[in-house]
Structures are given as C-alpha cells and as structure tokens.
Structure 1
Amino acid sequence: MRMRILHVITGLQSGGAEAMLYKLLSASHGNGFTHAVIALTSGGPYFEKIRDLGVDVQTLDLNMPLVGPGAVLRLRRKIADIAPDIVQGWMYHADLLTSLALMRFLPGKAGTCPPLVWNVRLSEIDPRFIGRSTRLVIRCLATLSHRVPAAIVINAEASRQTHIAAGYTAQKFQLIPNGFDLEKFKPDPAARAALRRELGIAPETRLVGMAARFDPQKDYPAFFAAAEKVIAACGDVAFIACGSGVEAENPAIAPSIARGDIARHVHLLGRRGDMERFYPALDIYVSTAIGEGFANVVGEAMCCAVPCIVTDVGDSRVIVGDSGVVVPPADPAAMARAVIALLDGPAHNRQAMGARARTRMGDFSIAAVARRFEAMWQTILSDKKARRDRKKAEGTDR
C-alpha cells in the first residue's frame, strides 16, 4: 500500500522551496508514495509543472498574510478529504496554518490526525529582509515547535542554530540538504556555445554569471560593483545575470549599469526556464547573497562543473568546500579580487575546480535526497503505530 503525503506550501512561485518541492515530487511520486499539494496562494510557474507530474495540486487562493479562521477551516477540510498519512509543510506561513488546522482536526477518511512535518528554509532571521508579520509567525512557530510537529526539516546546519536561538526546540530538527538532477545539470558544450551565440558573446570571452531574483538578500548592488571592478581590470570579460526582476528596465538596476563601461559587458536576462543551458555557458559562477541557507543555484552550477565564488553565509562554505572560493558578504571588492584571481590563473585550474565541484555534488543527487525524506516519513509513521499499539496493550487506547 502506497504512503500518501500531502505537501502544504505557501505558494508555487519561483523560489528555492518551490524548486525543491518539485524535484522531490519528480523523484518520489509513484515510487511507493503518492503525493498531493495544497498551495495557500494561487498561480505560479510551479503549479503547472507539478500538475504535469500527475500530482494533485489545489490552491486556497488566500491573500497572504491576511488570513483568518475561515482559511484554517478550509485547509482542515481539504486535509480531511485527501486523508494523507503525513502532512509535510513548506515555509513558515504554511507550517503555521497547517499546525492550526491539525490542532482541532476533523477526522476524514483515515479517521485519525496525520503527523505534521515542518520545513524551514532560512538560515538567518534578519529584520532587514523579513517583515513584521513573518517574524510574528516565526515566534508563534517557536512556541508550537515543542508539541506540534513530529519533525522539522532543515536544509542547512546554519538554520538549526538560528532557529534554536529563536526559541525552536532543538530536539526535532532533521538535516536533509537540497537535491539535484545530475543528468539535467551537467557540462554541455553545445549549450555553452548556443547561449553565447544568443547573447553575442565570443567563445573566447570569459563569462561570469549569477542567477537570483532581484531581492535585497541577493545583493545585486554588490554583484554590479564587483563586475565594474573586474571589467576594468580584465578587459575581455562579460557578466550575465538572470532571475525575476533582473532586467535593464528595472529602475532599481538602471543606475548600477549606467556607470562607466559596465553596460557593454553586462547582460540581464530576466527570468529563464532553461537554466540547464545557462550554467554551462559560464566560466565562473558567483553568489553575492547576504542571506542564504543552501542555495539551489550554487548546487546547480556545481553540477555543471562551474567553479563557484560564494559569500560566507548559511552553509555555502560547506557546500563548495575545496571546489570553490568563499568571500565575506557585502564586500564587492573581495568578490572582485576572487574573480580576477580565477580569471588571471590558468584555464585548467578553473576546469579542475569545476570537476571537483561536480564530483562533490554526487552526494546531493535528488534520488538520494528523496530517499532521506521517504525514510523520515516511514519512521514517523512507524513510531506513531508503535505508540498506538503500546496504548492498546496498556488498555488506554481511545
């Protein structure tokens, strides 16, 4: 009999949690597990992608963060109708709403309240980047963490320490890193040549890139400031960046690319759906993030054998190991020096570093990561059954 897992996620827009959920479903759905998804908000590119996997996807169409008791009741009824064996939450608001829904659960077909697992993605709780309502949700979850979830999944060790400091119980964390499709993301000379032709970048031009939505935590000003320094020092180099809002028409970006000679060397691509073509075109991948847990984009670049220069945030240092370079966050001069050092060195050094990066990502295959999720869910259900059997034996089963 297949185990039925219900995933409740805040939304299905473009983001790390959404991408990881999609990859997990791709690797697990139908392999002894049946999955369903409820998104609190409507729309998003991952709605169709997940539905195309044959997974049941529903939405509550909520206007976050303004939700009331009616939203809790609607979610509770949907959970009862789906009758999952396990409910897997994704991100703070979904974790809280699902916790409230299950605290006064209306038994459905299964006749029993399913265990709930939370999923925490942030490695830092920084008021500069997290709104007041989300900080309030985090405080509520810290209180509930001691008695509601069966487990709390984190994808970075830094998340554990941050959330323990915020009041979460230390006893329930389970570290399961992001997983990657090494067949999809791999070195691809044809893709490298094709993207360069598309952008008018010569085969011999050194190319540095970053993929991230335009968001304060990604620190695009540092990316552009570092690019300006590298362009001045290295000459034949180009920079590309992609992600939601990463376009020349963005008024917040325009001043950064208007300085000096930077506009001729920087290509802003907006959101792209062909990241498996993006990474192989690069000679160096950079991440200027000032807040990160386990960045999917860094892992994908490493799968494509691209050496990475990352900021020392979250678990980035652990992820790249000896296959990349780590610099302080919010320090474009340090980022520029690291890029220049790699570009000025022999090409075979970059290639060797990239090869180590891909080898390193073998430990993070999505198949292996999916098995870790599945083993956790099976253990939780086994523990639940053992407790129920123990109560029956003691004559206290209700």
Structure 2
Amino acid sequence: MADILHIIPRMVQGGAEQLLLDYLNSAETMHRHKALVLFADSDPRMIDPIAAQSEVRPSTSYGQIARDILPIRRHIASQKPAAVVAWMYHAAVLAPFLVPRGIPVLAYLHNTDLSAEAKRAERMAQKALARIARSQRVSLLYSGEASRRFHEDTLGYPGTRAHELANGISLETFAADPTRRADMRQDLGIGPETQVFGCFGRFNPQKNWPLVLDAFAAARRANPSARLVAAGRGVSLQNPEFAALVSARGLEDAVIALDAQRDMARLYDTIDVLLMGSAYGEAFPLVLLEALAMGKPAIVTALGSVPDVVEGLWDPIPVEAPERFVATVEAAARGDWPALAIPAEVLRAHAVERYGLGAYARGFDTVLNTML
C-alpha cells in the first residue's frame, strides 16, 4: 500500500472529476489516496464526498499558482507521496514544477482532439505536455486506446511509459429503479407513458447542443408528446444562450432543463433514450457507460472509444454526418430504431461485464504499481 497524491485543477461536474471522486471512494483500490485541488471555485457537491481525502488551494488563477510554486512544492514534499497523478493537461504541465524530483508523475488524459476554437492556453498545454513527456519527466495514462492513438499519432506523444485504461462506473449507483422512475417523472410532470429523451453534458461547444436540439425537434415532429430532459453545467433556461437555442426551435414546452445535477441515476431512470451528439474531444464518455448500466439505449456520435463500447449493440453516428444523427433520433421517436428492441437487462449486462468501478480501480492500481 502506497500514498498517492492526485492533482486536479478543479472538482466540477465532469467525467474526469467523477472518475477521481469514485476512485478515491472505491473499496477496491489497494493504495491510500489524497487529492490536491488547485482552484478554489470547485463545486461543493463534488468536494463534499471526498472532503476527508482532499485539500483545496485558495488559488484563483494560474498566475497565482505560478507565484506559489515553491510553497506548493514544499507542501507536496511534506506529504511524501509515493507517486503523483496529474489529471488533465494543465495539471500535467504544472506537475514537473510542483512535484519534487524523485517522485514519479503520471499524467492522466481524458480526451482526444480539441476544437479549432479551443482556448490558446489549452492548446499550448497540450503541446507542452508532449515535450515534457518526451523528456521522460512524466508517464502517461490515457482513457482508452483511441485517446492514446490520437496523442501518439497526431501530436507526437511518446509511446514509451504509456498506458491506457477503460473508464468505469459504480454499478450499484447506476442500476434501474422503477419506483424512482415513477417518482421522478411525477416530480417533473411527465406521464408514465411519455417518450423521454435525455442529454447530459455541460453547455459547451464540445457537447454540440445545437445538434441535439435539432434532433429533438425532429423527434417532436414524429412524436409531438416527446420530452427532453437536459442537464449539465449551464444547461438551464436561465442561461440566455441555451434558452435561445431552445426558443429558436419552438421547444420551450418540451425541454426540461435542470442545470448541473449530482444524482444522475434518477435522471437516467426518467428517460428512455440517451442522446450524445458531441462534436469532438470525447475519449471514453461516462454518460454512455452509465446509460448502458441503467438499461438505456443511446444515440451517440462515433468519437474516441465509443465504437468499441457499443460494438455488437448498434452503430454510432459519424461526426461528419449530423443529418444521420437527426434521422436516427427521429426514427427512435417513431419507434423505428432497432436498438429500442434490445432488452434492458442485455444492455446492463454489457456494462457489468466490462465497465465496473472495481475493474477500473484495480486497473488504475496496476498502472500505479509500475511506477512504485
């Protein structure tokens, strides 16, 4: 058993952050874990479950972190971690400066490509990490083969000291509950027989909400009673940009926008079909694994490891064919999408066999053990 320190910029609603939270709370890991959260503006709903295992720095900018490098470095040295895991690009680029020499660093990456409009700082961090990795200052862990392939083939990341790990979820948390479904639908004013689509992801160009709403508008033309339950940071009718997208498609009475939510299982219980129309960047999306574990089919774009996850179940939609995404959602609204016929227990078994949190934690430990 070793002491492992995880460095992450923020704890907010997101796939990587949820993985860290679940891993720290997992009974399957053989190591002791703590998290160092660099920025003060984290979501309390993500911090509270790991309060005993985490420390939140008061930083408000990367400039402040740069000025505090020496105090942070001394603080990390005092904890004497056997290894440090740096989550995502920015933490990974900072790690060689924050972590004392002699302590191995693992950079954990959770995406494939960035958008053409990605922030300059993010692109700089992506390129800087490639140089750092080539200098053998960090090892690399990717969320799946597709993420590793993109970084090595497109960005020139080294193939040595590199590992890949399929994401995992809590199969106990994500298990269908008919009573919860009925209660949640009643709370949201949705009838028991109403067809409900769901889309869960932050309001961000990566998640491609315009495409999702275009597809749902087509679904409403095929099935006028259909509803969309939407959740994620900024996914609220109080957000003028999101509200404008909904209004432009005449969907004000059909979209239930819930903003960021912590209890996601009850949302999956509410819906019948998950929609994920992401345009870029996805590596191993947790929402897809969660939907499968809940017995829900998902209409998804073919990014990252998505084709591997749904292999043998249905075909994902090529990103370059948005019209096919719209047509597939419309077909589902008519009841003509073949995946609707797959029994819920078959979908759950697919997730149970491959994507449990226990297997994820043991796999993570195996990677860490190569560094100790």
TM-score by length of 1: 0.87
Asked if structure 2 preserves the Cα contact closer than 8 Å seen for 1:95 and 1:119, the reply is yes
- Cα distance in structure 2, aligned partners of 1:19 and 1:137: 22
| In structure 2, C-alpha distance between the alignment counterparts of 1:325 and 1:266, rounded to whole Å | 26
Task: Return 5+ residue gaps in structure 1 as ranges.
Answer: 106-112, 382-398
**2 CA distance for matches of 1:336 and 1:346?**
13
Aligned: 1:184 with 2:182: no
Partner of 1:197: helix, strand, or coil? Answer: helix
1:97 is matched with which residue: 94, 98, 102? 94
- RMSD over equivalenced CA pairs, Å: 2.1
Looking at structure 1, the residues matched to 274 and 109 of structure 2 have their Cα atoms a distance apart, in angstroms, of: 26
Of 324, 327, 331, the match for 1:334: 324
1:233-261 C-alpha deviation (Å, 9 max, x unpaired) = 22231111011111112111222222464
Question: How many Å separate the matches in 1 of 2:333 and 2:58?
Answer: 48
In structure 2, the partner of 1:388 is none
In the other structure, the counterpart of 2:49 is 49
- 1:282 equivalent to 2:279? Answer no
| 3-state SS of 1:312 partner | coil
**Number of residue pairs matched?**
367
CA distance in 1, matches of 2:331, 2:66: 57
Calculate the TM-score normalised by the size of structure 2.
Answer: 0.92
Deviation at 1:66, TM superposition (A): 2.7
Q: Give the number of the structure whose alpha-carbon radius of gyration is greater.
A: 1
Residue type at the aligned position of 1:301? A
Matched, 1:163 2:154: no
Shift of 1:92: 1.0
User: 1:238-317 residue pairs with structure 2 within 5 A?
Assistant: 238-259=227-248, 261-291=250-280, 292-317=282-307
Q: 1:347 to 1:232 in 2, by over 3 A?
A: closer
Displacement of 1:209 after TM fit? Answer: 0.5
**2 CA distance for matches of 1:325 and 1:342?**
14
CA distance in 2, matches of 1:65, 1:227: 39
In 2 relative to 1, CA 373–314 (structure 1 residues): closer, same or farther, beyond 3 Å? Answer: same
Could you list the per-position Cα deviations for residues 324-372 of structure 1 after superposition, in whole angstroms to 9, with x for gaps in the alignment? 4411326553223212323433799625254332112121111111001
1:258 is paired with a residue of what secondary structure? helix
Q: Summarize deviations over 1:205-258 as a string: whole Å, max 9, x none.
A: 111111011111101111111111110122231111011111112111222222
Amino acid at match of 1:367: G
Amino acid at match of 2:368: W
CA distance in structure 2 between the partners assigned to 1:24 and 1:149 by the alignment: 25
Change (3 A) 1:241 1:353: same
Report the counterpart of residue 356 of structure 2 in structure 1: 365
Q: Are 2:85 and 1:88 equivalent residues in the alignment?
A: yes
Q: Does 2:36 align with 1:35?
A: no
**Structure 1 contact 225–332 (Cα < 8 Å) conserved:** no
CA distance in 2, matches of 1:347, 1:116: 46
Q: Which residue of 1 aligns with 2:370?
A: 379
Using the TM superposition, give the Cα deviation of residue 6 of structure 1 relative to its aligned residue in structure 2, in angstroms.
0.5
Higher relative contact order (CA 8 A, sep 6+): 2
- C-alpha distance in 2, partners of 1:220/1:89? 30
Q: Does structure 1 conserve the Cα–Cα contact (< 8 Å) formed by 2:220 and 2:333? A: no
Deviation, 1:119, is 0.3
Alpha-carbon distance in 1 for matches of 2:339, 2:275: 17
1:391 counterpart residue number: none
Structure 2 Cα separation of the partners of residues 312 and 32 of structure 1: 35
Q: Which residue of 1 aligns with 2:5?
A: 6
**Larger mean Cα displacement after TM superposition, 336-345 or 310-319:** 336-345
Runs of 4+ more than 6 Å apart: none
Pairing partner for 1:146 from 130, 134, 137: 134
- Residue 5 of structure 2 is aligned to residue 17 of structure 1: no
Q: Is the 8 A contact 2:222 2:334 kept in 1?
A: no
CA contact (8 A) 2:230 2:257 kept: yes
Distance 2:339 2:59 in 1: 51
Alpha carbons of structure 1 residues 317 and 367: separation in structure 2 relative to 1, 3 Å? same
DSSP-derived class of the 2:300 partner? strand
CA contact (8 A) 1:157 1:175 kept: yes
